[in-house]
């Protein structure tokens, strides 16, 4: 059945006792939802009697699988956050321009975002493990190309290849957790996986800053360091991620994949996100270079939505059950995930959360470098208040939600603290002391984690969740960039010494940091720094308003029981886990 708001609470079940330790439960308590696996098989859910005989308990195989997932996510997290700190130095070493530096970050972000639904759809058809290994291969090759780059053309190619792999790693990591554990305990396990990402975001800026200052070619180690980590993660995936293989030939599986929808989705989304990224930086928002691809992308996205909706209706009957076995094309974004008001709100929160977080992580380091005058490595240390608390708060929030069985309180607290944190950022200026900005930034770190908590997770919604998060990140940087440019130009126009250069200085915030550092001490430099800090303050005000608007909509979220049914065709291979347990039993008997 399609999971609907008015029937969801009647589908919950009671927690139950577990059978023998060596038996991996075929069905564990989790919420009822039409997953992508049900779209391809039409498997029927277990009865309540079966569920009362078994209770989920993490086996050795599940723990080892999560270790493998964590290793590859760690590599992707370090890469995603290390380059931004070092980008000014990398641009200088490769003799690049501000435009090329812009594309270095944008190419990875856009590619990783648009490929997540596609790779998620491929994993539904061809298998999770296979697509994880392919994603790791793309990430490895992309890192190698970047490390060997002698010009920005080669660097951009490497970043695009990296983006394909990184997008797959991030999407599949969360999808695999939904396959391995039921919703009742999923918050804890997603918190553990999320803490791995947090560790990467903490160490990434520090490593990026240190490598950038370690000699002429030190920046290359930002990419060299990825190779052993992703190689180790790949080996761990091969050895530890023992999940069930999907039946059928490769040719038969290829017939089920939504090739047309994927091409339409990727082309239209890229056409939309690229002008959003360069609007006001490379070209004015009113320029045809921005408007034409933006409008074409929007039209393409609308067409992709209509096509995916038609494909979903063709694949499913009136009650949401599969209409045929194995001979229908499966949509990469099944519209059954939008039949739930609460889940739709969570998608909205995820997009806004991505918008807020990426605005913070993009422009706050510029405050430290442009306003406070810090070097890249010191800026990496300065952002620790935003990143240091993410790991423990991820685990704590997941554990608390799993134990309490409720999640609305975490969403309310998270968004409330996010409002407080972004509001306090308004106090940052050129004269803010070190203890003050550390205290001010701590609430944001707590809020951004808890606000991203997902009350409902399933494979078919996690894929869209991963995409909409990156989509929000792109929108956030674009909105913040437009605010920064307009406010900086407005403020500089008020200073006679700088008014003639107001438009030039407001074009690119990253390049402006280098200009400020190169200026001699004096009134012009002080006024430029003051205008820089003032423009950032407006960004924090707007982001605070966004968070407040979202907070008021959280009253419409329903608090479902987390003890609900869990079905998947790509869970842990029971045979491998039984073999491990039986081997231990034999050893004990000896």
Same domain (yes/no): 532, 442: yes
CATH of the domain at 525: 1.20.1250.20
Task: Write the pLDDT tens digit of every residue in 481-496.
Answer: 888 888 888 888 888 8
d(CA 421, CA 511): 27
Per-residue pLDDT reduced to its tens digit, 282-308: 777 788 888 999 999 999 999 998 998
Highest mean pLDDT among 50-59, 229-238, 398-407: 229-238
Q: Across all residues in the chain, what is the average pLDDT?
A: 74
Question: What pLDDT, on a 0 to 100 scale, did the predictor assign at position 164?
Answer: 92
Residue 385's pLDDT is what? 72
Where is the domain boundary, 199, 217, 249? Answer: 249
Whole-number Å distance between alpha carbons of 243 and 68: 12
Q: Which domain holds residue 561?
A: 341-565
In this model, does residue 138 exceed pLDDT 90? yes
- Give domain status of residue 240, yes or no: yes
pLDDT digits (tens, 9 = 90+) for 173-198: 878 887 777 766 776 777 777 778 77
Average pLDDT, stretch 312-319?
68
The least confident of 74-83, 129-138, 522-531, 565-574 is 565-574
User: What CA–CA distances, in Å, run from 265 to 195, 274, 463?
Assistant: 31, 14, 14
Confidence label for 55 from pLDDT (cuts 50, 70 and 90): low
Query: CA 13, CA 32: separation in Å to the nearest integer?
Result: 10
For residue 244, is it within any domain? yes
pLDDT band at residue 588 using 50, 70 and 90 as cut-offs: very low
Q: What is the DSSP string of 27-46?
A: SEE------HHHHHH-PPPP
Domain end marker among 190, 225, 249:
249
Looking at the domain assignment, is residue 23 inside a domain?
A: no
451 and 526 in a single domain? The answer is: yes
* Same domain assignment for residues 103 and 153: yes
Domain membership of residue 18 (yes or no) is: no
The region of weakest confidence among 146-160, 205-219, 448-462 is 448-462
Residue 581 falls inside a structural domain:
no
Q: Verify that 170 and 287 share a domain, yes or no.
A: no
Does residue 263 sit in the same domain as residue 241?
Answer: no
390 and 481 inside one domain? yes
Asked if the structure places residue 4 within a domain, the reply is no
Indicate whether 407 and 545 sit together in one domain: yes
462 located within any domain: yes
Per residue in 415-456, pLDDT tens?
Answer: 888 888 888 888 887 776 655 544 454 444 444 433 434 434
Show which of 303, 329, 355 is a domain's final residue: 329
Query: CB–CB of 539/359 below 8 Å?
Result: yes
Q: How many structural domains comprise the chain?
A: 3
484 closest CA partner among 370, 363, 371: 363
Is the pTM of the predicted complex or chain greater than 0.85? no
Provide the pLDDT for residue 54.
Answer: 53
Q: Mean pLDDT throughout 553-571?
A: 65
Terminal Cα distance for the chain, rounded: 50
Residues 40 and 135 in one domain: yes
Distance between CA atoms of 244 and 237, rounded to whole angstroms?
A: 14
With contact defined as beta carbons under 8 Å apart, do 167 and 471 qualify?
Answer: no
User: What is the per-residue pLDDT for 322?
Assistant: 61
Q: Do 125 and 85 have their domain in common?
A: yes
Q: Is 24 helix (H, G, I), strand (E, B) or coil?
A: coil
Across the range 78-85, mean pLDDT stands at: 79
Verify that 165 and 288 share a domain, yes or no: no
444 and 546 within one domain: yes
Confidence band of 327 (pLDDT split at 50, 70, 90): low
- Residue 572 counted as domain residue: no
**269 shares a domain with 243:** no
pLDDT for position 158: 92
């Amino acid at each position: 059945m399609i999971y609907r708001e008015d029937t969801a609470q009647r589908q919950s079940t009671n927690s139950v006792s577990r059978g023998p330790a060596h038996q991996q439960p075929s069905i564990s308590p989790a919420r009822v939802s039409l997953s992508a696996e049900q779209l391809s098989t039409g498997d029927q859910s277990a009865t309540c009697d079966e569920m009362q005989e078994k209770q989920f308990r993490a086996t050795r195989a599940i723990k080892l699988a999560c270790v493998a997932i964590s290793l590859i996510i760690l590599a992707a997290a370090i890469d995603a956050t290390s380059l931004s700190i070092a980008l000014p130095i990398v641009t200088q070493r490769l003799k690049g321009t501000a435009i090329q530096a812009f594309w270095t970050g944008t190419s990875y972000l856009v590619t990783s975002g648009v490929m997540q639904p596609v790779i998620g759809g491929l994993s539904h058809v061809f298998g999770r493990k296979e697509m994880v290994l392919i994603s790791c291969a793309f990430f490895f090759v992309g890192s190698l190309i970047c490390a060997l780059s002698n010009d920005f053309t080669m660097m951009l190619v490497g970043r695009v290849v990296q983006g394909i792999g990184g997008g797959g790693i991030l999407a599949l990591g969360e999808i695999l957790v939904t396959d391995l554990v039921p919703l009742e305990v999923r918050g804890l396990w997603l918190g553990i996986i999320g803490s791995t990402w947090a560790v990467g975001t903490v160490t990434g800026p520090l490593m990026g800053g240190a490598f950038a200052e370690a000699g002429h070619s030190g920046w290359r180690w930002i990419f060299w360091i990825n190779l052993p980590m992703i190689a180790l993660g790949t080996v761990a995936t091969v050895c530890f991620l023992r999940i069930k293989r999907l039946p059928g030939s490769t040719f038969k599986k290829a017939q089920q994949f939504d090739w047309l929808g994927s091409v339409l989705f990727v082309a239209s989304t890229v056409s939309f996100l690229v002008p959003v990224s360069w609007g006001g930086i490379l070209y004015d928002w009113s320029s045809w270079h921005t408007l034409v691809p933006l409008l074409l992308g929007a039209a393409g996205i609308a067409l992709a939505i209509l096509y995916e909706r038609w494909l979903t209706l063709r694949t499913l009957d009136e009650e949401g059950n599969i209409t045929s076995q194995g001979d229908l094309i499966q949509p990469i974004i099944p519209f059954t995930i939008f039949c739930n008001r609460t889940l739709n709100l969570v998608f909205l929160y995820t997009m806004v959360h991505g918008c807020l977080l990426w605005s913070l992580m993009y422009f706050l380091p510029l405050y430290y470098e442009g306003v406070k005058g810090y070097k890249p490595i010191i800026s990496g240390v300065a952002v620790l208040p935003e990143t240091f608390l993410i790991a423990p708060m991820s685990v704590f929030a997941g554990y608390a939600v799993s134990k309490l069985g409720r999640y609305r309180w975490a969403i309310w607290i998270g968004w409330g603290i996010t409002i407080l944190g972004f509001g306090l950022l308004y106090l940052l200026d050129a004269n803010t002391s070190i203890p003050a900005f550390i205290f001010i930034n701590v609430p944001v770190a707590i809020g951004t984690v808890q606000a991203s908590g997902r009350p409902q997770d399933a494979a078919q919604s996690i894929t869209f969740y991963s995409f909409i998060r990156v989509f929000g990140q792109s929108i956030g940087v674009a909105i913040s960039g437009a605010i920064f440019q307009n406010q900086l130009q407005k403020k500089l126009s008020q200073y006679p010494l700088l008014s003639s250069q107001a438009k030039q200085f407001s074009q690119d915030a990253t390049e402006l940091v280098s200009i400020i550092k190169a200026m001699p001490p004096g009134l012009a430099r002080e006024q430029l720094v003051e205008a820089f800090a003032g423009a950032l303050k407006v960004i924090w005000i707007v982001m605070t308003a966004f968070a407040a608007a979202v907070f008021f909509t959280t009253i419409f979220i329903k608090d479902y029981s987390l003890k609900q049914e869990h079905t998947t065709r790509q869970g842990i291979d029971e045979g491998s886990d039984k073999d491990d347990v039986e081997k231990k039993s034999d050893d004990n008997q000896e």
